[in-house]
Amino acid sequence: MAFQNAQLTIPELEKKSIQYRKKILTLIKRVKAGHTGGDLSCIDILNVLYNHILNVSPATISDPLRDRYIHSKGHSAEALFIVLGDLGFFPIEDLETLNHFNSHYIGHPTRKVNGVEHNTGALGHGLPVSVGIALAGKKDNFPYRVFTLLGDGELEEGSNWEASMCAAHYGLDNLIVIIDRNTLQITGRTDKVSSLAPLKDKFQAFGYAVREVDGNNIRKLVEIFEQLPFEKGKPNLILARTIKGKGVSFIEDQANWHHHVPSDDEFTAAMAELKIAEDNWRVQYGNG
Amino acid sequence: MEMGRPNVEVLADTLLEIGQNRRDVLVVTGDSRGSGKLIPFGEHLPEQIVEVGIAEQNLVGISAGLASTGKKVFAVSPASFLTTRAFEQIKNDVAYSDIPVKLIGISAGVSYGALGSTHHSLHDFAALRAVDNIHIVVPADNFEARKAIESAVNYPHPIYIRFGKNSLPHLHDLDTEFKIGKAIVLKKGADVTFIATGETVFRAVKACNLLEAQGLSCGVISMHTLKPLDIEAIINIARETKAIITIEEHSVNGGLGSACASLLLQEGMHNLFRIVGIPDEYIVNGSQEEVFEYYGITPEGLAQSAQDLIRNVI
């Protein structure tokens, strides 16, 4: 099975991230709902996965050998839908119906949407399911990998730690757990809500091969994903240090943007900032 | 009635037989292979048993992941922990995600006896009946247990099958038709019919014999599938019998009795009707037999309930 999507270069990926941010904000603004902060925090990770790393495409979504991606932080649905639509898993116009009565496109991913592997939304579910898929891959001696993205607040759910013990017990080096470590949850700083730190030590103690990365830096993300698997016989964990609301100055690192919908003025200002980001990209790379 | 074995032993033997012929059949356990009688399965088919530790959420989540790749996954855990601790995983990762995991609740009802309410599952029918896209099967004897497991292998829907610990008498000929969703009519009667499920069915049969000796015409149905309910069978029985008594090893709230009452009332059937189960109270401690005795789930108790109902003295 060949990689069916065109594998984008780093400059192309960087441009894509700006475009995705504009699309996410436009979508949330139009439907007047969405998880703005978390979408913008994880979009660079989704971009690199789907446009450079994952061995999956609309043509191979039913292939038993495809790589799997499980969106455990299901509330960041808009980010996933924008990427899947961009890659042609469904016509991007379908997102016009987001949150409409009887639409398959709702505030959390479901398997009614082509490309979505598992229904998520309640937190702490993606990792156990991913462990199951990875275990099946080992049993069948299939080469696929299973990626799952968790929010850092989501780690307060105990099921993640149950699944982590299993992942290490079975030596699932085909499992890649990515933590969107933006340090914010709806109430405020994660460490004010429940002490997560020291996360790296915790994951190492649970048996993961742990790497840290700037989760909003495309080049660093590509480099880290290309090093997979990190250690034979150990599940992989990427602690992706991100900024919630990344890409728009006044949205960044603000807990109250968890699911805030931009006002008209905020939307205009956000799009203007992203336009500047695009202009800067052109200055750096030309019209590519 | 000739005595058989505990249904859980039939579960283990049937899984081993099927597993030896089908490498895609997996059993997932949460430190429960002993109580599931699955130690021989683990010894014969070590590659087909997955141990996840004492972690029911993990058990169901991992089972959903395995099954999403096409594996035929039997997730085996005590019914109480499986359907309570992992309820959200059952609701989201199995039912809502439409992944046909076979959830096997063992040591169900009050079969743990004096271990107390932590280990009893008297809520599982009610909990799972309220979840869309999951079917519920409760075998009444060794034949139904074997058929339920065999039917589950390729069953296209999420399914929950419930097993107790105690030996059960044989109720059926081996050529009896067994189909999930289709009740088995053991006997028809004009005065009173017991609609029973699981380990209460043989007690209903014995109660029926007592009532017939007292001159009543009595029927028994094994309602092995609680969901989808065999609507046609229940309506037919309601037309042919005067009084209906439902019996279940479950709370009187939300189980078989509630399902039948709801159906009959909405169909305009007004039979004399009584739900027998465990009442809504702090449960008395004791063995399954003692608890059943206390709540009248014995041949004598059930016969008395029928007489009272028919004489309208309740």
Using the beta-carbon criterion (under 8 Å), do A166 and B68 form an inter-chain contact? no
Residue with tokens 């192309």: A12
Tell me how far the alpha carbon of residue B88 is from its chain's centroid.
21
* Environment class of A211 (CB within 10 Å of its CB; exposed 0-12, middle 13-18, buried 19+): middle
Q: In this structure, what token pair is assigned to residue B276?
A: 């027998």
Using the beta-carbon criterion (under 8 Å), do B97 and A118 form an inter-chain contact? yes
The segments of chain A whose pLDDT lies below 70 read 1-5, 288
Measured between CA atoms, how close is A3 to chain B, in angstroms?
20
Residues of A contacting chain B (CB within 8 angstroms): 64, 110-111, 117-122, 124-125, 127-137, 139-140, 158-159, 162-163, 165-166, 169
pLDDT in tens, B149-194: 999 999 999 999 999 999 999 999 999 999 999 999 999 999 999 9
Using the beta-carbon criterion (under 8 Å), do A128 and B92 form an inter-chain contact? no
Measured between CA atoms, how close is B208 to chain A, in angstroms?
47
Using the beta-carbon criterion (under 8 Å), do A166 and B53 form an inter-chain contact? yes
Q: In this structure, what token pair is assigned to residue A133?
A: 């898929």
* Gap between the Cα atoms of B284 and A63, Å rounded: 54
Residue A68 lies in a domain: yes
**Helix or strand holding residue A231 (H, E):** none
Decide: helix, strand or coil at residue A18. helix
* Gap between the Cα atoms of B261 and B236, Å rounded: 14
Count of other CB atoms within 10 angstroms of residue B195? 28
Decide: helix, strand or coil at residue B288. helix
Using the beta-carbon criterion (under 8 Å), do B67 and A132 form an inter-chain contact? yes
Question: Do the beta carbons of residue B50 and residue B27 sit within 8 Å?
Answer: yes
Alpha helices per DSSP H over chain A: 10-31, 36-48, 77-86, 126-140, 159-169, 190-193, 199-205, 218-226, 264-285
Closest CA to B196 of B170, B168, B166, B222: B222
Would you state the pLDDT for residue B250?
A: 98
Decide: helix, strand or coil at residue B232. helix
Using the beta-carbon criterion (under 8 Å), do B52 and A166 form an inter-chain contact? yes
Phi-psi domain of B310 (left: phi exceeds 0; alpha: psi -120 through 50; beta: other): alpha
Length of chain B: 314
Question: Do the beta carbons of residue B225 and residue B181 sit within 8 Å?
Answer: yes
Query: Measured between alpha carbons, how far is residue A4 from residues A8, A85, A146, A252 in Å?
Result: 12, 15, 18, 34
Would you state the pLDDT for residue A1?
A: 44
Of A122, A133, A163, the CB nearest to B68: A133
Would you state the pLDDT for residue B312?
A: 77
* Gap between the Cα atoms of B64 and A87, Å rounded: 27
Residues of B contacting chain A (CB within 8 angstroms): 26, 47, 50, 52-53, 55, 57-58, 60-71, 88-89, 92-93, 96-98
What residues in B contact A167, CB-CB < 8 Å? Answer: none
Using the beta-carbon criterion (under 8 Å), do B88 and A140 form an inter-chain contact? no
Which domains, ranges and CATH numbers included, belong to chain B? 3-169 (3.40.50.970), 184-310 (3.40.50.920)
Cβ neighbours of residue A153 under 8 Å, at least 6 residues apart? A123, A184, A185, A186, A190, A193
Strands B135-137 and B225-227: antiparallel
What residues in B contact A136, CB-CB < 8 Å? Answer: 65-66, 69, 71
* Gap between the Cα atoms of B314 and B309, Å rounded: 6
- Give backbone dihedrals phi and psi of A162, rounded to 5 degrees, phi first: -60, -50
- The conformation of residue B101, written as its DSSP 8-state character, comes to -
Q: What is the largest CA-CA distance in chain A?
A: 54
pLDDT in tens, B161-172: 999 999 999 999
Of B58, B60, B97, the CB nearest to A166: B58
> Predicted ipTM?
0.95
Cβ neighbours of residue B207 under 8 Å, at least 6 residues apart? B194, B218, B298, B299, B300, B301, B302, B303, B306
* Environment class of B56 (CB within 10 Å of its CB; exposed 0-12, middle 13-18, buried 19+): buried
Amino acid at A184: L
Of B50, B57, B70, the CB nearest to A135: B50
Which CATH number belongs to the domain containing residue A73 in this structure? 3.40.50.970
Q: Which residue of A has its CA nearest to B28?
A: A132
Q: Is the dihedral angle over the CA atoms B203, B204, B208, B214 positive or is it negative?
A: positive
Residue A1 lies in a domain: no
Q: Which residue of A has its CA nearest to B59?
A: A128
Q: Which residue of A has its CA nearest to B26?
A: A136
Decide: helix, strand or coil at residue A209. strand
Question: Do the beta carbons of residue B132 and residue B95 sit within 8 Å?
Answer: yes
Would you state the pLDDT for residue B82?
A: 98
Would you state the pLDDT for residue A286?
A: 85
Query: Measured between alpha carbons, how far is residue A244 from residues A36, A41, A167, A216 in Å?
Result: 9, 5, 28, 10
A143, HSE (Cβ side, Cα atoms, 13 Å): 6
B111, HSE (Cβ side, Cα atoms, 13 Å): 23
Q: Which residue of B has its CA nearest to A131?
A: B62
Please provide the distance, in angstroms rounded to a whole number, between the alpha carbons at the two ends of chain A: 29
* Gap between the Cα atoms of B144 and B184, Å rounded: 10
Q: Which residue of B has its CA nearest to A72?
A: B93
Residue A149 lies in a domain: yes
* Gap between the Cα atoms of A233 and A157, Å rounded: 25
Give chain A's domain count: 1
Of B61, B65, B92, the CB nearest to A136: B65
Using the beta-carbon criterion (under 8 Å), do B65 and A135 form an inter-chain contact? yes
Cβ neighbours of residue A232 under 8 Å, at least 6 residues apart? A173
Residue A5 lies in a domain: no
Of B53, B66, B70, the CB nearest to A132: B66
Of A124, A128, A139, the CB nearest to B62: A128
Of A119, A130, A139, the CB nearest to B97: A119
Count of other CB atoms within 10 angstroms of residue A182? 26
* Gap between the Cα atoms of A200 and A216, Å rounded: 18
Test the A interface: residue of B31, B50, B57, B90 with most A CBs within 10 Å: B57
* Gap between the Cα atoms of A22 and A274, Å rounded: 7
Quote the domain boundaries for residue A242: 15-285
Question: Do the beta carbons of residue B187 and residue B219 sit within 8 Å?
Answer: yes
Would you state the pLDDT for residue A5?
A: 63
Residue A8 lies in a domain: no
Residue A263 lies in a domain: yes
Would you state the pLDDT for residue B283?
A: 87
The segments of chain B whose pLDDT lies below 50 read none
* Gap between the Cα atoms of B59 and B51, Å rounded: 8
